[in-house]
Amino acid sequence: MARRTEPPDGGWGWMVVLSAFFQSALVFGVLRSFGVFFVKFVAAFEEQAARVSWIASIGIAVQQFGSPIGSALSTKFGPRPVVMTGGILAALGMLLASFATSLTHLYLSIGLISGSGWALTFTPTLACLSRYFSRRRSLAMGLALTGVGLSSFAFAPLFQWLLNHYAWRGALMLVSALSFHLVACGSLLRPLSLAEDSAVGGPGAQLISLLHNGPFLRYTIALTLINTGYFIPYVHLVAHLQDLGWDPLPAAFILSVAAIADLVGRVVSGWLGDAIPGPVARLLILWTTLTGVLLVLFPVAQASTALVVLAVAYGFTSGALTPVAFSVVPELVGTGRMYCGLGLVQMVESIGGLLGAPLSGYLRDVTGNYTVSFVVAGAFLLAGSGVLITLPYSFSCCPAPTSRSQDLVIEAPHTKVPLSKEEGLGKD
């Protein structure tokens, strides 16, 4: 590994962006399009919506709760072998799910095994990416995460077509084949060693530091609230539209329309995050608030035109909040603690991912429709936006401290850290 004093802002980093692009597609693109399978699972196993919702929720929760394990393994062995192992697990879980005879089998195969594979791929890759960029970090994140939007556009109708021609078992086998490409994506990762890595300490020391970081803890709570409502449309929007009398294929196409807007939102938000001076937390507050409002409006819309407009608007704002959400982490903890910080955030916010979809399904079973489900989902995002307002510099005219300055200004025993260019900032 090359040892550098600061992120190169390019170079092999663009290959890491390419790897992250395909990984985000094969992890969250699959998860966000999995609502197409929802109706088939309800019919095949004759179960209530709340119980079937646990399949995706367990997968999301395991992916996020297991992220610290992926981060710790990447710190010790590097991200490449960890991500390649995760790709094997993700594909294996989908393959075993095609032989399921009960919901429990799907909980274990998709939820636990594939979820564990996703935990070993997504977070280590984004942490590796963030170490390659500083000034253009938000743009790099936005470009990498456009894979979610493109794959959601392609996967929702593709999965519906596969279900129509091969039934759900055959469709899961082919999804398994797609997931195996995560192994190739992992092979593109080249670990980067930065000068400040030795100063931040090992995973234990980093964890203690993060647990005493008040803004970071508040940010983690905010993302947990956001995560509770964020995935609801991707799990239950197709079922909601079918309740309104839509055919399955046009209902799945609505997810594709939202995915196009999601793609545009990620790129625009990533560019704005780097172009507008000041902390990117302000952009995150804006996109989160708009997404929460749009979720509340979904049950109000009945006409096809209104639903398409809402889907486009929701896709844009929900996509826009993602790259800036990841870009805020190094602003709070520094690039040297990125593996540990991002892993801890993903672990805690898994609580929201675990509870969100089952809660929505339960409310549907109780009320007979998805009206309350979408309203509650929007309320969670608005609550998360309220917590984000408490972060430092959220509405200050002063720029937030850069991740590079946080990386260099680290307390070490008997060490005076330079604070200005005249005093030696920038020297090894």
Question: What residues does each domain of the chain span?
Answer: 10-192, 200-395
Instruction: Give the Cα separation of 252 and 154 in Å (integer).
Output: 10
Buried/exposed code over 132-166 (b: 16+ C-beta within 10 A; e: otherwise): bbbebbbbbbbbbbbbbbbbbbebbbbbbebbeee
Max Cα distance, the chain (Å):
71
Q: Which of 199, 201, 188, 310 is nearest to 257 (CA)?
A: 310
Query: Which pLDDT score, from 0 to 100, does residue 239 have?
Result: 80
Q: Which of 319, 335, 328 is nearest to 279 (CA)?
A: 328
Query: Which pLDDT score, from 0 to 100, does residue 5 have?
Result: 59
Is the pTM value of this prediction over 0.75? no
Query: Which pLDDT score, from 0 to 100, does residue 112 have?
Result: 93
Q: At what angle do helices 304-333 and 232-243 cross, to 10 degrees?
A: 170
Q: Which of 119, 141, 146, 118 is nearest to 128 (CA)?
A: 141
CATH 1.10.600.10 fits 10-192, yes or no: no
Beta bridge partners of 165: none
CA 318 to chain centre: 11
Query: Which pLDDT score, from 0 to 100, does residue 193 have?
Result: 75
CATH 1.20.1250.20 fits 200-395, yes or no: yes
Query: Which pLDDT score, from 0 to 100, does residue 83 have?
Result: 94
Judge whether 10-192 and 200-395 match in fold: yes
Q: What does each of the 428 residues of the chain score in pLDDT, given as a tens digit? A: 555 557 777 788 899 999 999 998 999 888 877 778 888 888 888 877 778 878 887 887 788 788 888 888 887 888 899 999 999 999 999 999 999 888 889 999 999 999 999 999 988 898 888 888 878 888 888 888 888 777 877 887 888 899 999 999 999 999 999 999 999 999 999 877 776 666 666 777 777 888 888 889 999 999 999 989 887 887 788 788 888 878 777 887 787 788 788 888 888 888 888 777 767 888 899 999 999 999 999 888 878 888 889 989 998 998 888 888 888 888 888 777 777 888 888 788 878 877 887 888 888 888 888 888 889 999 999 999 999 998 876 555 444 544 444 443 333 333 333 433 333 433 33
DSSP 8-state secondary structure symbol assigned to residue 412:
B
Residues for the chain: how many in total?
A: 428
Query: Which pLDDT score, from 0 to 100, does residue 21 have?
Result: 93
CB 67 within 8 A of CB 123: yes
Angle at 127 between CA 412 and CA 138, to 5 degrees: 105
Angle at 327 between CA 272 and CA 205, to 5 degrees: 160
